[in-house]
Amino acid sequence: MSPHPPAPSPVPSRPPFPGEGEKGIPAGPLPWVIAWRFLRGRHSRLLDGTARAALLSTALGVMAMIIAMALMTGYRQDLQSKLVRGNAAVIAYPVGGETGALSPERRQKLLAIPGVRRLGRVAYGQGSLSSAKVPQGLEVVLRGVDPGGGQLTATAEQLRPSADGMIPSAVLGKDLADRLSAKPGEILRLVALGFEEGRPRFRYQSVRVSGTFATGFAEFDRSWVLLDRPLVERLMGGQTAVDLLEFTVADPEEAPRIADAVSSILQPDFVVTDWRQLNRELFTALKLQQIALFVVLGLIVLVSTFNVASTLVVLVRERMRDIGLLGALGLQRCWACSSAPASAGCSPPSSWCASTRKWRRSTSSIPSPSASCRGTS
| pLDDT tens-digit map of 325-338 | 777 776 666 555 55
Residue 157 burial (C-beta neighbours within 10 Å; 0-12, 13-18, 19+): exposed
The span from the CA of 266 to the CA of 268, in Å, is 6
pLDDT tier at 129 (50, 70, 90 boundaries)?
very high
Number of H helices, E strands in the chain: 13, 9
CA angle 315, 36, 311 (to 5 degrees): 20
- Which residues have a Cβ under 8 Å from the Cβ of 6 and sit 6 or more positions away? none
Mean of the per-residue pLDDT values of the chain? 75
The span from the CA of 37 to the CA of 18, in Å, is 9
- Of 19-28, 196-205, 232-241, 345-354, highest mean pLDDT: 196-205
Kindly provide the b/e burial profile for residues 119-129, where b requires at least 16 CB atoms within 10 angstroms of the residue's own CB. Answer: bbbbbebbbeb
Q: Looking at residues 244-266, what average pLDDT do you find? A: 87
Q: Looking at residues 281-305, what average pLDDT do you find? A: 82
pLDDT at 188: 93
pTM of the model: 0.59
CB 200 within 8 Å of CB 177: no
Judge whether residue 48 has pLDDT over 70.
no
pLDDT at 345: 45
